[in-house]
Amino acid sequence: MYLLFDIGGTTTRIAISKDGRQFVEPKYVPTPASYREGLDALIATGKHFAGDKKIEGVSGGIAGPLDAAHTTLANSPHLPDWVDKPFKRDLEKAFRCPVYLENDAAFVGLGEATDGAGRGFGIVAYVTVSTGVGGVRIVDGKIDRNAYGFEIGHQIIDINGPLCATCAMPGHLEEYISGTSLERKYKMRPSDITDPDVWRESARVLSYGLNNVMVHWSPELIILGGAIMRKGPREFFQQTRDYFEQTVKIYPKLPRVERSVLGDIGGLHGALVHLNQSLEKYRT
């Protein structure tokens, strides 16, 4: 019995895997701003799912970069009360089993690379446009080695651009196209924005971010996911792909750009994949 979770800036998803290969229908709850409330809800839900069975491992993603040891959230514009809390230790104390933490976008990307749109590709870049903007590089079915995680939403695409609302640095990609920034700028939910010029400009800006993903990570495939990609106008994805093809000129051939296919449970797929990879090392 294994506990899986995906704590996003807005929504938390929790599921149980009984066999380590599949998971049950997840439970969705709003992500609490309070760390204690969120921790208590996660523990209570996990124990309810497990019943009288022992949970043998816990794996989950959370919105923001982790410390080098992957024990606590190091920074998070969307969950500030969770920062520097002993998250891994608290879960280990509650369930008395191995616990594995990762950035939420990294687990979604891992899920897409192994079980979704990236199946069969060796080097996959996953980019999510949602409450924030994030991403990950997956190599041979594993999250690429890194020191502090991947935060591609904070790449600078315009040194004279607006200050990032979360870190006060200029011209970050996230400040232009994230759900939070769009809502702040246009005073409505992104799903309610119907002006095609807004989405066309967002696609153009996102293509610059994908240019940087391409030249830095050199993937075989780029997968676009997240709530904005799923719920935005159908043209947004195609316009992004078209602008990307017009922007990147250094290579003789560009990678495919595809939509994510696992919906909003990609993070749970990735959490399960990572759990199996980690438990294999733990047991040996």
Q: What is the pLDDT along the chain (284 residues), one digit of tens a residue?
A: 999 999 998 899 999 999 999 999 999 999 999 999 999 999 999 999 999 999 999 999 999 899 999 999 998 888 999 999 999 999 999 999 999 999 999 999 999 999 999 999 999 999 999 988 999 999 999 999 998 889 999 999 999 999 988 788 999 999 999 999 999 999 999 999 999 999 999 999 999 999 999 999 999 999 999 999 998 998 999 999 999 999 999 999 999 999 999 999 999 999 999 999 998 876 66
Q: Which of 114, 131, 92 is nearest to 6 (CA)?
A: 131
CATH architecture of residue range(s) 117-261: 2-Layer Sandwich (3.30)
Could you read off the pLDDT of 151-161 as tens digits, one per residue? 999 999 999 99
| One-letter amino acid of 140 | D
Whether 117-261 and 2-103+264-283 are alike in CATH topology: the answer is: yes
Per residue in 174-233, pLDDT tens? 999 999 999 999 999 999 999 999 999 999 999 999 999 999 999 999 999 999 999 899
Of the candidates 20, 31, 6, the one whose C-alpha atom is nearest the C-alpha of residue 109 is 6
Domain limits, the chain: 2-103+264-283, 117-261
The reported pLDDT for the residue numbered 196 is 96
Q: How far is CA 252 from CA 42, 118, 241, 242, in A?
A: 48, 22, 17, 16
pLDDT at site 34: 97
Widest distance between CA atoms in the chain: 58
Beta bridge pairs of residue 172: 156
Token digits for 59?
């794996």
Residue in 276, 273, 263, 270 with CA at minimum distance from that of residue 11: 263
Q: Which residue has the tokens 């690379």?
A: 113
CB neighbour list of residue 242: distance below 8 Å, 6 or more residues apart: 203
CATH of domain 2-103+264-283: 3.30.420.40
- Please give the backbone phi and psi of residue 132, each rounded to the nearest 5 degrees, phi first: -120, -165
What gap in Å lies between CA 141 and CA 96, rounded to an integer?
A: 28
